[in-house]
Amino acid sequence: MIDAAETVLRDGRTHWRREAAERVAFLIDGEAYFAAFRAACLKARHVIRIIGWDIHSRMRLVPGTPEDGFPAELGPFLNALLRRQPGLRIDILIWDFAAIYTIEREPLPLLNREWRRHRRLRLRFAADHPLGASHHQKIAVIDDAIAFVGGLDLTMRRWDSSEHRPHDPRRLDPSGEPYGPFHDQQMLVDGAAARAIGQLARGRGRPASGEPLPAMRDAADPWPAQVRPALRRVRVAIARTEPAFAGRRETREVYEMWLAAIAMAQRTLYIENQFLTAGAIAEALARRLSRRRKAPTS
């Protein structure tokens, strides 16, 4: 039989590293991810690193009144964690966004008191990219012990249940206005895979902070109790996209993984994405659809 993983995964081309994870979970939609992120943060002891395209201090991690006694809104929640846990630090890195996106974001985030309330909470902006590019990673790492990676930012108008009802009274933005259904997902890993993503997050944060960010090694297990792993004892491939900039070489691992996955497909291609605008991907799909399916080999 064809080994799909070995066909798609080509060391040094389609991924940066392959690392072991004892547990892997897939968190479908904001209701699952935001609740799991909140539960993990409540167990954090050393550092919470958040990397995103955007962030909003008044986005609600859970609808209604939380049962844990902490604030529902992100900014007050993070500050409450810092007051409770003296050794905790929170580092946030978001895109140094273009003015055209101002209407979609929290105004003047650096002046927002929730991001300036505590000295151990540091908000910085990523601007190390070419003109016209953006920082688009959505990562949260807790104590280098677990890592969330996917398509969901900790910002407004992202929370939704997987029912995606046309009208859900819980789906309100920080101003109290209803918004439409929103679908996305986040992956949760632990073990060496989480430590590698922690290393990646520290590397992304260093240009903005100007200082080395140490790894954590003695953390307790912050895996959220309500999340059941979908996979156990597997190796996780970590793929990146990074533009050439200021002496940094271009990295196109995600692109190469897409092409490899399309080329090896035998029966079905299922693509779930907000955007599909790359001409090279459309051409790869056309090439694969024009070829006959290979007979299985033993």
Helix (H, G, I), strand (E, B) or coil at 119: coil
Q: d(Cα 105, Cα 222) in Å, to the nearest integer?
A: 30
3-class SS at 42? helix
Both tokens of 74, joined, read 């992100």
Q: Give the per-residue pLDDT at 160.
A: 98
163-187 per-position pLDDT tens digit: 999 999 999 999 999 999 999 999 9
Q: How many CA atoms lie within 13 A of 253 on its CB side?
A: 18
**How confident is residue 1, by pLDDT bands cut at 50, 70 and 90?**
very low
Percent of the chain whose pLDDT exceeds 70: 89
Quick one: pLDDT band at residue 12, thresholds 50, 70, 90? confident
Domain borders along the chain are: 1-16+239-298, 20-236
- What sign has the CA pseudo-torsion 106, 112, 113, 119? positive
pLDDT over 90 (residue 209): no
Top-level class of domain 20-236: alpha beta
Burial 66-83 (b: 16+ CB within 10 A, else e): beeebbbbbbebbbebbe
Per-residue model confidence (pLDDT) at position 84: 96
Q: Give the whole-number percent of the chain exceeding pLDDT 90.
A: 68
pLDDT averaged over every residue in the chain: 89
Q: For position 295, what pLDDT does the model report?
A: 61
What is the length of the chain? 298
36: alpha, beta or left? (left if phi > 0; alpha if psi -120 to 50): alpha
Each residue's pLDDT tens digit, 62-109: 999 999 999 999 999 999 999 999 999 999 999 887 655 666 678 766
In angstroms, what is the C-alpha Rg of the chain?
Answer: 20
Lowest mean per-residue pLDDT among 153-157, 191-195, 207-211: 207-211
The HSE-up count of residue 93 (CA atoms within 13 Å, CB side) is 25
Q: Which of 76, 225, 207, 45 is nearest to 142 (CA)?
A: 45
Chain segment 104-129, per-residue pLDDT in tens: 678 766 667 778 888 999 999 888 88
Q: What is the mean pLDDT of residues 7-18?
A: 90
